[in-house]
C-alpha cells in the first residue's frame, strides 16, 4: 500500500482520485526495500466503498510495482482503509460511539448496516484498542478525533489504523 494523506480530496470520486495519484511524485517514493523511484504502474483494480448514506463509491485503484523487489502496492488516500469497503471516518465514528457508549447513527438510505458496525467494533477491540491506548497521550476519544491519528499509528505500527490484513503500508506526507 502506498498511502498519502489527502485531506484535500473533498469528494472521493474517480476524477479526484486520479488527480491525487497524479500529484504523488513516485520518482522520490521509497519502497520498504529502501529503493527510491523504482515504482512502475502495475495495473488497476476496482474498489467499492459503501458510505453511511445513499452513496456507493466505485473507484479504479492504481497499483504500482517496485522494480527492485517486485512487490506490488496499491495507491490509496488515507481515508480508505486497505481491504475495507468502509471509509476510515465512518469506522472512527462507530468506534467513538462505542467508546462513548452511545449507538452509532445509521443514516436513512445508508449502505452501512448494524452488522457492519458490529464487525468494525469487533475488529477494533480484537486488534486495535490496546495498540491505540499504548500510544494515545490524552483520552482515547480525543486521540481518535485527532487529525494526527493516521500518522501516529503509522509511526508506531507501520500500518493503517483499522487495517487487519497484513500488507506493507508506505505512508507519504
Ligand atoms: Zn521494493
Quote the ligand 1 centre to 129 CA distance (angstroms): 31
Q: Cα of 36 to ligand 1 centre, how many Å?
A: 8
CA distance 53 to 100: 22
The three-class DSSP label of residue 76 is: strand
∠ CA 65-168-127 to the nearest 5 degrees? 155
Q: Measure 26 CA to ligand 1 centroid, in angstroms.
A: 12
Please state the length of the chain: 173
Quick one: cell of 108?
436513512
User: Which residues have a beta carbon within 5 Å of ligand 1, which is an ion?
Assistant: 31, 33, 35, 66, 68-69
Ligand 1 centroid to residue 72 C-alpha, Å: 8
pLDDT tens for the chain, 173 residues: list them: 777 776 555 688 899 999 989 989 999 999 989 999 999 999 999 999 999 999 999 999 999 999 999 999 999 998 999 899 999 999 999 999 999 999 999 999 999 999 999 999 999 999 999 999 999 989 999 999 999 999 999 899 988 999 988 777 777 65
Amino acid at each position: 500500500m502506498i498511502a498519502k494523506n489527502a485531506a484535500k480530496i473533498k469528494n472521493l470520486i474517480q476524477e479526484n482520485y486520479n488527480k491525487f495519484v497524479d500529484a504523488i511524485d513516485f520518482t522520490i517514493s521509497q519502497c520498504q526495500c529502501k529503493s527510491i523511484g523504482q515504482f512502475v504502474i502495475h495495473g488497476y483494480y476496482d474498489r467499492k466503498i459503501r458510505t453511511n448514506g445513499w452513496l456507493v463509491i466505485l473507484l479504479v485503484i492504481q497499483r504500482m510495482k517496485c522494480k527492485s523487489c517486485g512487490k506490488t502496492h496499491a495507491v490509496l488516500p488515507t481515508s480508505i482503509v486497505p481491504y475495507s469497503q468502509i471509509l476510515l471516518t465512518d469506522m472512527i465514528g462507530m468506534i467513538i460511539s462505542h467508546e462513548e457508549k452511545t449507538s452509532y447513527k445509521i443514516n436513512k438510505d445508508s449502505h452501512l448496516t448494524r452488522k457492519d458496525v458490529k464487525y468494525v467494533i469487533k475488529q477494533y477491540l480484537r486488534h486495535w484498542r490496546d495498540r491505540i491506548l499504548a500510544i494515545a497521550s490524552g483520552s482515547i476519544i480525543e486521540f481518535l478525533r485527532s487529525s494526527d491519528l493516521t500518522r501516529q499509528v503509522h509511526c508506531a505500527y507501520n500500518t493503517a489504523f483499522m487495517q487487519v490484513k497484513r500488507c506493507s503500508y508506505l505512508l507519504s506526507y
